[in-house]
Amino acid sequence: MTLCKNSKLLLTLSLLVFSLSFAACFNCCTPQKRVFFENLKDNQVVPEHFQVRFGSENLQIKPAGTDIENKSAGHFHILIDDPASFTPEGEIIPADANHIHYGQGDTETFLTLSPGKHALTLQFGDGIHRSYGKALSSIITVDVQATTP
């Protein structure tokens, strides 16, 4: 009877170790998705009209309206001085002067901002502009300097 209990305990422990090992391998081997500003750093000084390049890792850049159910596909949005800093996951990203959609699959743009400090959020959204939330956003501040004629 004791041998049977020990065998069951050994089998249970072996399965537990295997499960934990598999979970650790799965987590370490799953590529991290992220978005970032390729050419700008936090607190960078920029002119009133400047280029912004969008970067991503382990994501597929697709035009709006395509590949909607693919959780690794979507397109970029820039949020300018958004008090919330990012659009919560699952919510539709607004479209207005401070929430710019790049639904053609663009990976760069030029912005023109007034002098002063501005918060920029690069936000990734799916094919129908639903946000992937904070996990797929990147927030920086730029210091826009007036251009002298």
More confident residue, 68 or 121: 121
- The kind and range of the H/E element at 101 are strand 99-102
Nearest to 59 by CA among 135, 115, 3: 135
| Local confidence band at 10 (pLDDT 50, 70, 90 cut-offs) | low
Query: Taking phi first (over 0 means left), then psi (-120 to 50 degrees means alpha), and beta for anything else, what does residue 65 get?
Result: left
Enter the pTM of the model.
0.78
**Residue 24 predicted with pLDDT over 80:** no
Residue carrying the six token digits 């919330």: 84
Average pLDDT of the chain? Answer: 88
pLDDT at residue 49, as a whole number: 97
CB contact set of 80 (below 8 Å; sequence gap of 6+): 97, 98, 99, 100, 111, 113, 118, 119, 120
CA distance linking residue 103 with residue 105, whole number of Å: 5
CA distance linking residue 3 with residue 127, whole number of Å: 59
pLDDT at residue 26, as a whole number: 47
Q: List 61's β-bridge partners, or say none.
A: 74
CA distance linking residue 107 with residue 39, whole number of Å: 12
